[in-house]
Structure 1
Amino acid sequence: MTTKAVQKVALVTGANRGIGRAIVSGLARSGFTVFLGARDPEKGRIAAAELQAEGDVRFVPLEVTSAASVLAARQAIESETGRLDVLVNNAGIGAAPGSRFKDPIDEIAENMRAVYETNVFAVVTVTNAFIPLLLLSDAGRIVNVTSKRGSIGEEGAWVGRPNMTYSSSKTALNAITVHYARSLATTNIKVNGAAPGHVATGFNAFRGTRTPEQGAEVAIRLAQVDRDGPTGLVFEDERQLTW
């Protein structure tokens, strides 16, 4: 195995559109070799080609809920670059395929399982697969894209209509973030959560008040925190959030 990339290497999951794509763009402009992970090969290749003007952007097929796909992506990145410096767990869904928003008293467990499969369990699968490559970095960084909706306080669960399924999946993601940070505290890896705010993307039928570029800023910053920077915390822009 030969290392072909000298500059820092990042992987962003669910990155062919929206916030993920904006994170890829920002990291590429910062000098990273960025692997754009997407489950749809055609959309992924098109997005990577369109972002070539920003820097070294490479498409990697990645269906985060498939262990085989995750392993293949790890092998591809290891073969091309020999290590990983930044993992951004951005892939997520708001509801089960074919399902719509449901009030908690109308929700069914099967819908929750589908959302947790992508928003929680897949994060564990992807993170554990790539930790060996992150440990080869002198400054490994993991950024989990979360949401203020994951808060059980006044800024989260008590805002707007109750959204138990999506919101609680982000609450679980925040807890996972802290436990990974604790487990990796003696290594060069830092793990933090990035809450992009209410961003206008296809995820919410473009009803958000922020642009994808604005939402991506916090993840891009956390991907580059120095050795004295935070770990095990969640941020919205410069503000640390309380959960």
Structure 2
Amino acid sequence: MTTQMNALVTGANKGIGLETVRRLGGTGLKAWLGARDAGRGEAAAKALRDDGLDVEWLELDVSSDDSVAAAARTLTARVSSLDVLVNNAGIAPGYVDALGPNGRYERPPSREDVADMKATYDVNVFGPVRVTQAFLPLLLASPAARIVMVSSYLGSIARAAGNGQSPNVMGYGSSKTALNAITVAFAKELSSRGIMVNAAAPGYTATDLNANKGGRTVQQAAGIIVQLATLEAGGPTGGYFDENGSLPW
């Protein structure tokens, strides 16, 4: 067992997750890079180790009960506590196919694929619940754990209801709305135990999820995630934030 502070980031072999691992590792935390694929996960972890960071790959498929349970057992055998959990893994099946030539999302709710929605919810909603529940004993063993749910501006009902502020991405957007509700639920339960739980909106970032159409870099996107993951005592919990402050639900 080690007493070093530990952070786990899911879906972290590329994109915002990988940059979050890099940034958390740079603060002196030991970072566990959660990823489904052994080759890509270990390659990503090795690249960060080559940069001098303390990073290890952890096999973790957030859509699988068995995989999440096995990952929790593995980490429990290696560390005494988990100080940071970033539920970053997310998917948007069908999103890229629905992008028009101008890069705008062009699939209305009336043509949303229910199978795609089910797959999206399994990763984006049930995944963070599975992972948070499985790793909760390790989080409770930390004197001041932080949990960050990586949400989206598309999770804001207020923005979606506004005049053209958000594309009508029903499947992905509603999954992030549900994740925001889950954030509040866990925050209420865990606040008395010193655990802060917040949702982060990293912005429309260029990643594989949107065929790199986003206008923000992963370096910009990771900022709010790392900020919420490293909150000092007395900080907010049960909130929804971007780098400029609180967002409307």
**Aligned partners of 2:90 and 2:116: how far apart in 1?**
14
Tell me the secondary structure at the aligned position of residue 123 of structure 1.
helix
Q: Following superposition of structure 1 onto structure 2, how do residues 122-201 of structure 1 map, counting pairs within 5 Å? A: 122-154=127-159, 158-201=164-207
Cα deviation, 1:186-226, whole Å, max 9, x if unaligned, reads 10111001110111111111111111011001111111111
Aligned length: 239
Is contact 1:38-1:61 (8 Å) kept? yes
Tell me the secondary structure at the aligned position of residue 36 of structure 1.
strand
User: CA offset at residue 159 of structure 1?
Assistant: 2.8
**Aligned partners of 2:26 and 2:113: how far apart in 1?**
43
**Aligned partners of 2:129 and 2:188: how far apart in 1?**
15
Deviates more, 1:206-215 or 1:24-33: 206-215
Q: Which residue of 1 is the match for residue 236 of structure 2?
A: 230
Q: Which residue of 2 is the match for residue 72 of structure 1?
A: 70
User: CA offset at residue 178 of structure 1?
Assistant: 0.4
Structure 2 counterpart of 1:87, one-letter code: L
Structure 1 vs Structure 2: percent identity of aligned residues?
46
**Aligned partners of 1:26 and 1:156: how far apart in 2?**
34
User: CA offset at residue 153 of structure 1?
Assistant: 1.6
**Aligned partners of 1:25 and 1:55: how far apart in 2?**
8
User: CA offset at residue 134 of structure 1?
Assistant: 0.2
**Aligned partners of 2:201 and 2:226: how far apart in 1?**
12
Q: Which residue of 2 is the match for residue 107 of structure 1?
A: 112
User: CA offset at residue 51 of structure 1?
Assistant: 0.6
Q: Which residue of 2 is the match for residue 83 of structure 1?
A: 81
Structure 1 counterpart of 2:147, one-letter code: I
- TM-score, scaled relative to structure 1: 0.94
Is contact 2:196-2:238 (8 Å) kept? yes
Is contact 2:11-2:88 (8 Å) kept? yes
Cα deviation, 1:147-198, whole Å, max 9, x if unaligned, reads 0011112367743431100000000000100010001121011100111011
**Aligned partners of 1:54 and 1:239: how far apart in 2?**
32
User: CA offset at residue 15 of structure 1?
Assistant: 0.1
Identify unmatched segments of 5+ residues in structure 2. 99-106
Is contact 2:160-2:166 (8 Å) kept? no
Cα deviation, 1:85-144, whole Å, max 9, x if unaligned, reads 1110000001269x9443200123222111100000111111100111000000111000
Q: Which residue of 1 is the match for residue 45 of structure 2?
A: 48
Cα deviation, 1:57-76, whole Å, max 9, x if unaligned, reads 00011001111111111111
Structure 1 counterpart of 2:73, one-letter code: Q
User: CA offset at residue 80 of structure 1?
Assistant: 1.1
Q: Which residue of 1 is the match for residue 125 of structure 2?
A: 120
**Aligned partners of 1:96 and 1:83: how far apart in 2?**
38
**Aligned partners of 1:112 and 1:155: how far apart in 2?**
18
**Aligned partners of 1:63 and 1:96: how far apart in 2?**
20
Structure 2 CA distance for partners of 1:139 and 1:43, relative to 1, 3 Å: same
Q: Which residue of 2 is the match for residue 63 of structure 1?
A: 61
Tell me the secondary structure at the aligned position of residue 125 of structure 2.
helix
**Aligned partners of 2:158 and 2:64: how far apart in 1?**
33
**CA RMSD for the aligned pairs?**
1.6
Alignment partner of 1:20 is 2:20: no
Structure 2 counterpart of 1:198, one-letter code: Y
Is contact 1:15-1:24 (8 Å) kept? yes
Tell me the secondary structure at the aligned position of residue 51 of structure 1.
helix
